[in-house]
Amino acid sequence: MYCDLVKGLPLDLYSQQDFGKGEVVLSRHIQTDRLLLVLTGRLYDANLKKFYGAGELLQLVDFFAKDYYCDLTVAKFPSRVLLIPRQAVCNLLTKQAPMTWALARMVAIERSAVPRRVL
């Protein structure tokens, strides 16, 4: 089951990438020009101390709020992710309601301003 955010996107059209155990999936300073959806496997973000499994989106706040991802995410097991272009997500949200993309970005920017240890 995939995150509701990507429902309505033609997921079979987007690239997939495989990662072996211990490989870096996302690192600091990778542009947020694509959203990553876990298809199989298990990933770990050491900074957030969070595991991601099938159907989850990686570092969603960074995707909406920033130009670059901030945390390191590694594959804990062999994994496959789907790379969804930023423009596809923008088009989908804008199609649902014209202000949805802008609102999602504003909420994420506000969320990213709160120190993580407080949450």
Average pLDDT of adjacent 10-residue blocks, the chain of 119 residues:
76 95 92 94 91 93 90 95 94 86 86 64
CB 57 within 8 A of CB 36: yes
CATH number of the CATH domain containing 68? 2.60.120.10
DSSP code for 61:
H
pLDDT recorded at residue 119: 45
Specify if 74 maps to a domain: yes
For residue 11, the enclosing domain spans 4-114
Specify if 73 maps to a domain: yes
Q: How many CB atoms lie within 10 A of CB 107?
A: 13
pLDDT recorded at residue 108: 87
DSSP code for 119:
-
Specify if 119 maps to a domain: no
How many domains would you assign to the chain? 1
Task: Say whether 102 sits in a helix, a strand or coil.
Answer: helix
pLDDT recorded at residue 7: 84
pLDDT recorded at residue 101: 84
Specify if 35 maps to a domain: yes
Which amino acid is located at 92 in the chain? L
Specify if 67 maps to a domain: yes
Q: How many CB atoms lie within 10 A of CB 81?
A: 26
